[in-house]
A and B are shown apart, each in its own frame.
Chain A
Amino acid sequence: MSKADDKQTLLEVKDLSVGYEGHPIAEHLNFTVKEGDYLCIVGENGSGKTTLMKTLLNLTKPVSGTINKSEALGIGGIGYLPQQTEVQRDFPCTVKEVVLSGCIMRAGRRPFFSREEKQLAETNMERMDILPLADRCYRELSGGQQQRVLLARALCATRKLLLLDEPVAGLDPKVTAELYRMIDSLHKDGITIIMVSHDIAAALQYATHILHVGNRMFFGTRGEYRSSKIGQLFLAQEGREG
Chain B
Amino acid sequence: MMDKLAEYLQYPFVRYALIVGVLIALCSSMLGVPLVLKRFSFIGDGLSHVAFGAMCIATVLKMSNDMLLIMPVTIISAVLILRTGTNTKIKGDAVIAMISVAALAFGYLIMNFSNTTNLAGDVCTTLFGSTSILTLNKAEVWMCIIMSIAVLTVFVLLYHRIFAVTFDENFSRAIGLDTEKYNLLIAVITAVIIVLAMNLVGSLLISALIIFPAVSAMRLFHSYARVTIFAAVLSVVCAFSGIILSILAGTPVGSTIVGVNVLAFAVCWLISRLGGRK
Contact = CB atoms under 8 A, between A and B. Distances in A.
B227 interface: yes
Contacts of A214: none
Interface in B155-180: 156-161, 163-164, 166-168, 170-177
A102 B175 contact: yes
A79 B223 CA distance: 24
A82 B168 contact: yes
B222 A94 contact: yes
Given A111-B156, A111-B157, A91 B167 contact: yes
A85 B168 contact: yes
How large, as a class, is the contact surface on chain A?
Answer: 35 or more
Contacts of B172: 101, 104
Interface in B175-224: 175-177, 217-218, 221-224
Nearest to B158: A111
Given A59-B174, A76-B175, A113-B160, A88 B168 contact: yes
A78 interface: yes
Given A78-B174, A93-B163, A87 B39 contact: yes
A104 B164 contact: yes
A75 interface: yes
Contacts of A107: 160
A140 B157 contact: no
A112 B160 contact: yes
A84 B67 CA distance: 42
B267 interface: no
A153 interface: yes
Contacts, number: 98
B222 A87 contact: no
A178 interface: no
Contacts of A131: none
A44 interface: no
A58 interface: yes
Contacts of B98: none
Given A87-B166, A92-B217, 7 more contacts: A59-B170, A78-B174, A79-B175, A87-B168, A92-B223, A100-B160, A111-B156
Interface of B: 37-39, 156-161, 163-164, 166-168, 170-177, 217-218, 221-225, 227
Interface of A: 54, 57-59, 75-76, 78-80, 82, 85-88, 90-94, 97-98, 100-102, 104-105, 107, 111-113, 135, 137, 139-140, 150, 153-154, 157-158, 163
25 contacts: A57-B174, A59-B170, A59-B173, A59-B174, A75-B176, A78-B175, A79-B175, A82-B168, A82-B174, A85-B168, A87-B38, A87-B168, A88-B167, A93-B222, A97-B163, A97-B223, A100-B160, A101-B160, A101-B168, A104-B177, A105-B175, A111-B157, A137-B223, A153-B171, A158-B175
